[in-house]
Structures are given as structure tokens and as C-alpha cells.
Amino acid sequence: MNIALIAHDAKKELMIQFCIAYCGILSRHNLYATGTTGKVVAEATGLDITRFLSGTQGGDQQIASRIACNEIDLLLLFRDPLTAKMNEPNEATLLRLCDVHNIPVATNIATAEALIHSLARGDLDWREIVNPKKNSED
């Protein structure tokens, strides 16, 4: 599956800890992230992550375009609604696109935990049935 990772500045450390905890599960999938999030997670975990531009330079829009093309199967968007900054990703667009394309999304650690366990159990395999990948690496 193709998993996108985005974290607001105040949630980057939480994303790192989450990815360390679930490195074994995440390593079996294709990971994509905005620039800084991808950099810090890859450095902390050794995971292979395709990095887009940073959020301030349009990385969230690059991920949104992949969601719009149904190329992302799961979005983990750790947002900080209390101290969000103007230059951080516009999650409304990302969430709307996930709703349009039936892509599971987590905006906090509690939901991310539920989704990662579902992923490990195979509960999200329906994404591969309704959206088969061409030239799949699996």
C-alpha cells in the first residue's frame, strides 16, 4: 500500500515516535511524505521514504494530487489544531480528497494507532482490490 505521512511542526516528534513504534509494519509498504517530515522520520527509523517538497513549498499539494489520482491508500496527517501556522498544510483539501476517494485518514495518534493495527491485520486490503496498482512492487 501507498502511505502518505504529513506532520505539523508541533507533531513531528510524535510522528517520529509513531514510525519508530510501527517500523516493522510501515517497512512493508511504500511511504511518501512532505519534505521535512520525511527527512526526520527516515533519519530516525531508516525507513525508505519518497520525499516531496516541504509543506511550505507545496509538498502537501503534491500529496493531494496523488490522492486525487487515487495513488495513496492511507494518509497519516498529524495536525496540531491548537497552534497551526499559516504555512502548514491545508488539511481541509487533503481531507476532502480522502473523502472523495474513500482513503482512510488519521489526523491524530489515536486514529493512526487504529489504522496501523487494521493495516497489519489486513483489514485495509480492500484498497488493493478496488484500486489495483499497475507494476506493483509487492
Which strands, in side-by-side order, build the sheet including 74-78? 49-51, 30-33, 2-7, 74-78, 105-106
Cα-based angle 119, 39, 42 (whole degrees, multiple of 5) = 50
Catalytic residue from among 60, 80, 125, 138: 60
Q: Is the distance from CB of 94 to CB of 60 less than 8 angstroms?
A: yes
Residue listed under C-alpha cell 513531528: 12
Using the CB atoms, write b or e for 8-19: b if 16+ within 10 Å. beebbebbbebb
How buried is residue 122: exposed, middle or buried, by Cβ count under 10 Å (0-12/13-18/19+)? exposed
Q: Is 138 a catalytic residue?
A: no
Q: Which residues are designated catalytic?
A: 60
